[in-house]
Chains A and B, each alone.
Chain A
Amino acid sequence: MINYSLKSKIISIFGEKYVTDDPVELYCYSHDSFSRALSWVKKDYELKADMVIKPQNADQVKQIVDLANQEHFKIVPRGAGTSFGGQFLPVEGGVIIDFTRMNKILEINTEDNYAVVEPGVLYKNLGKKLRNTDNGYWIPCNPGSAEVCTIGGMIANDASGESVIKYGTTKDYVLNLKAVLGTGQAIQFGRLVKKSVSGLDLLNLFVGSEGTLGLMTEATLKFLALPESFKTVIGFFDSIEAAVLTAKEIKDTLTPMSLELLDRITIMGMNAYLSRLTPRITIRMAEAALLIRLDGESEVTSTYANKIIELLTQSDSSSNPEIFEGIKHEYLWKARDGAGPSLGRLTPSVQNVGTYLPASLDFSVPFSKINELMNKYAEIMTKNKLGSIRYGHLGDGNVHLICTVPITSEEDVQKLGSIQTELVKLAISLGGSVTAEHGCGVWKAPYLPLEHGEDAINIMGKIKAIFDPNNVLNPGKIYSFPNKVSNILGKLGDD
């Protein structure tokens, strides 16, 4: 709890304008989509921050961490609030730090190709600035939330998306970080070079730690030359299995920027999204589609596109591939970025997505196991008489499996839990990971021991204790199962 005296201290650091404890504002900051749904069916379920603050600089960040250690309150960092794993939920109350006010691009260095930014800078805004510098640059992590996410959020979650197959994840672009650790110590990790083997890699330990080790105050990211052209070949298939087999052939021939899988329902959702744009474009309906995005010099992308068309034409299960470029290409990927949420546009005609809670899973498995995962997933869904949706970043083995589970009662929550557990065990048994990109947060935390084992989780806990001995930073995420919600979610991890 933040008492009057503590509130006054916090206001003296940040100024009244940038501090709020209005219950309405706190409610808005204290939910993600899953927690909102849970609070609907679970009468005693309520997570609420005590306060939200908006710092302007690193010094203020350090002061609030020091104060948290002195006064024993919790801190929950937050960027644009776009994560799906419950990373920013205040499971033990405390102060949410909204970093969006620290939004300055401090330097664009074209001699050494790096940018220095504050954590609240939007990826979109940095991208725009880089595009317009010299001949154009970019940082090609491309998470689905690219239009709205912050650089700080991306680093905290090691965000990635459709271009991992060729360009990797956020960590591949982070050179240097300034942060305030849970102890209150201001520290710097990394150098201005990517290539370094000097000592343990604390920089990459920090990336993806979901704000549990320290709070980032400045980041240096490397950037690349912007490709001259982009083209996307779309292959249409009569089954997901056939699409996956062809994807393997493509991977063995060349490395596209993206290699994405869509199932029939996802295509419908994307078309619903596209239908409102002018000029109007549509994706042809098929049981499955592959989006193969190519980037590079115009001649190169044309040659590769033709090569892929040839390959698709040879396949009996594929028909009439298309090439999208220019505005069609831009809209196609806008729709792909919004593919998950756009399923909500199909309600109520398709399997009640939207009125039912979509539980989005983001497993990654070795490529050779994808069809097995897909088939067994379909069996589990059929067994439970549920609708299912499959799409994802096929190129790197990361698929999104969506169960459309009706959540109208606490029993439904338990049902969701048992289905998720079954699927998690399946992915792990295939050599995969529980979460490829969405992050652990609250909702995936219960499954981590299944993937890593208790010993590894204990080591992670010990590392956390070094960085944040009083556990003031983002409690209840990754390492520990939050007590406050365990009465509901504890059963998600059980048999």
Chain B
Amino acid sequence: MIEVNEEEIMGIVWKCSLCGFCPQDNECPAFDDDVRWESSYARGKVGIVHGMIKNPHLGFQNSELTQQRLFSCTGCGHCHYICPSGVNVPEIVNTGKKILVDANNFPKPHEEIVENIKKFGNPFGESAPRAQEWEDLRNNVEAETIYFPGCMAIYRTPEIALNSIDLFKILGDKIKVLQHETCCSGILYRTGHTSSLGEILKPMLDELHKKPPKQIIFTCPGCLTSFRNIFKSELGEKFKGTELLHFIQYLLERISKMGNLEQKVETLLNTEVNGPIIWHDPCHLARDLEIYSEPRTILNTLKIPYMEFKQNRQDSNCCGSGSGVRAAFPELAERSTVKKLEEMKEVGTKTLLTACPFCEYQFLTVANKYNYEIEVLDFNSLMRKLVKSRE
């Protein structure tokens, strides 16, 4: 039986005054914009979890509707941002998911993800060793900075990792990758499968404890959120003395030290990318990590013109793929992606720029499926492209 800190959850639940300001339509990937039942609002989900904890005899933990409502939540945190009371709905929903997993009431596709992580160290079930081509980086004992590419960049979008490694080299920074790197397991937390977190992460955390690095730099905001928040809340891991950064933060710091950069750079994009570009704020990056001004500062400093989505920064709408929703409810996930692709069409841009491997993969696959002629550009890949064009 899963243990729930009633007092803690009650504190969050009580903050909800059911004022109804919860996100609707485009703003919530899980919102039922057809019939608009109450249970699909954020306040409805809070109510469901309240019912499960307070009145377990009602049996909500065995309900199909409960499963659908809680597991269709991508954990994007838009509701947390919009809520006047600041109710941390994703945290409440995650508690609900844990209860559902305990009751064996969860989407079956998640079972495979869990098994894959346990067996192969990645959610895709890829048996190839992680980053085998980076043997030199794995053994780079001198480096005090670790680069953590994450599963998606290793197995699905390798250009992100390769371009990032190139940029480290160009900027003259020595890095290494972990000997025992494994999936950050954020997906396990966000799907309620937390019981084996400690066991899965132990070899990697042991390596980090043995020789704590000065910095760990991530290209996946989801992985960084896991290291910064989930490892702390679930395992008490604080990474004392180690700085945890997204690559964009690292890049901004390096650029700001270059001096007179504005005079040196020219706008080179017109020939490099497919027309005007639009910046998408990934949920973990903008809301969880509050990194939304940094990419804009870099783009502005480098005089790279870009457009904004109507809702942007911390108010950005989710791509729809997070927290196992793409696996369990693919059509729901696609609905959110298509809405953003439609907005791109409306404002007349064909190039989407972002900095999250999951978002990029989602945009790319959905655009291909529905014949949207767009290019999805990773932030680091764009940076690498710029450097290349100046080399």
Contacts and interface: CB of A to CB of B under 8 A. Distances in A.
B39 A28 contact: yes
Contacts of A273: 84
Interface in B56-94: 58-60, 63, 65-66, 69, 81, 83-87
Given A24-B48, A39-B54, A347 B15 contact: yes
Contacts of B39: 24-25, 28
B54 A28 contact: no
B interface, how many residues as a size bin? 35 or more
A221 B269 CA distance: 53
A341 B85 contact: yes
A36 B18 contact: yes
Contacts of A80: 20
A130 B99 CA distance: 47
Contact of A81 (B18, B54, B83): B18
B21 A341 contact: yes
Contacts of B16: 33, 36, 344
Contacts of B172: none
A345 B38 contact: no
A420 B54 CA distance: 26
B60 A24 contact: yes
A341 B84 contact: yes
A385 interface: no
B60 A28 contact: no
Q: Interface centre among B16, B37, B47, B81, by most A CB within 10 Å?
A: B37
A356 B38 CA distance: 25
B317 to A, nearest CB: 16
A39 B83 CA distance: 23
A37 B50 CA distance: 10
B15 A28 contact: no
Interface in B1-55: 10-11, 13-21, 35-39, 43-44, 47-48, 50-51, 54-55
Q: Interface centre among A28, A40, A273, by most B CB within 10 Å?
A: A28
A54 B14 contact: no
Contact of B65 (A25, A145, A354): A25
A17 B32 CA distance: 13
B60 A54 contact: no
A344 B35 contact: no
B97 interface: no
A280 to B, nearest CB: 11
A40 B59 CA distance: 17
B14 A31 contact: no
A189 interface: no
Contacts, number: 123
B47 A22 contact: no
A24 B65 CA distance: 7
A407 B21 CA distance: 24
B193 interface: no
A412 interface: no
B280 interface: no
Contacts of B83: 341
B165 to A, nearest CB: 33
B362 interface: no
B35 A82 contact: no
Contact of A147 (B21, B36, B43): B21
Given A100-B36, A347-B11, A40 B47 contact: no
A158 B38 CA distance: 23
Given A17-B35, A27-B48, A37-B14, A82 B19 contact: yes
Contacts of A354: 11, 14-15, 85
Contact of B38 (A28, A342, A347, A357): A28
A148 interface: yes
B70 to A, nearest CB: 10
B337 interface: no
Contact of B86 (A18, A24, A98, A344): A344
Nearest to B314: A276
**Could you tell me the dominant secondary structure of chain B's interface residues?**
helix
B14 A357 contact: yes
Contacts of B43: 28
A272 B86 CA distance: 9
Contact of B20 (A29, A145, A357): A145
B20 A148 contact: yes
B36 A36 contact: no
A338 B38 contact: no
B313 interface: yes
B85 A344 contact: yes
A36 B47 contact: yes
B383 to A, nearest CB: 24
B17 A340 contact: yes
B1 to A, nearest CB: 20
Contacts of B38: 25, 28-29, 52, 81, 98
A386 B66 CA distance: 38
Given A24-B48, A28-B44, A98-B38, A341 B17 contact: yes
A344 B19 CA distance: 12
B40 to A, nearest CB: 9
A18 B55 CA distance: 27
A17 to B, nearest CB: 6
A355 interface: yes
Contact of B63 (A20, A24, A341): A24
A145 B43 CA distance: 15
B11 A31 contact: no
A31 B54 contact: no
A291 B279 CA distance: 37
A149 B18 CA distance: 12
Nearest to B80: A276
Nearest to A39: B54
A278 B286 CA distance: 13
Interface in A13-49: 17-18, 20, 22-25, 27-29, 31-33, 36-37, 39-40, 46
A80 B20 CA distance: 7
A25 B14 contact: no
Contacts of A37: 14
Contacts of B19: 82, 145, 148, 338, 340-341
Contact of B21 (A100, A338, A356): A338
Interface string A147-182: 111000000000000000000000000000000000
Nearest to A54: B35
B18 A18 contact: no
A40 B10 contact: yes
A130 to B, nearest CB: 21
A31 B51 CA distance: 11
A358 B14 CA distance: 9
Contacts of B63: 22-24
Contacts of B59: 23
Contacts of B54: 39-40
Contacts of A98: 38
B71 to A, nearest CB: 13
Contacts of B87: 344
Q: Interface centre among B14, B16, B48, B313, by most A CB within 10 Å?
A: B14
Nearest to A31: B47
6 contacts: A81-B20, A101-B35, A338-B19, A341-B19, A341-B85, A347-B11
Interface of A: 17-18, 20, 22-25, 27-29, 31-33, 36-37, 39-40, 46, 52, 54, 80-82, 84, 98, 100-101, 145, 147-149, 272-273, 276, 278, 338, 340-345, 347, 354-358, 407
Given A25-B38, A52-B37, A82-B19, 8 more contacts: A18-B35, A28-B39, A36-B14, A338-B21, A338-B84, A345-B85, A354-B85, A355-B15
Nearest 10 interchain pairs by C-beta: A344-B85, A338-B84, A341-B84, A344-B15, A345-B86, A341-B85, A82-B20, A28-B38, A28-B44, A33-B17
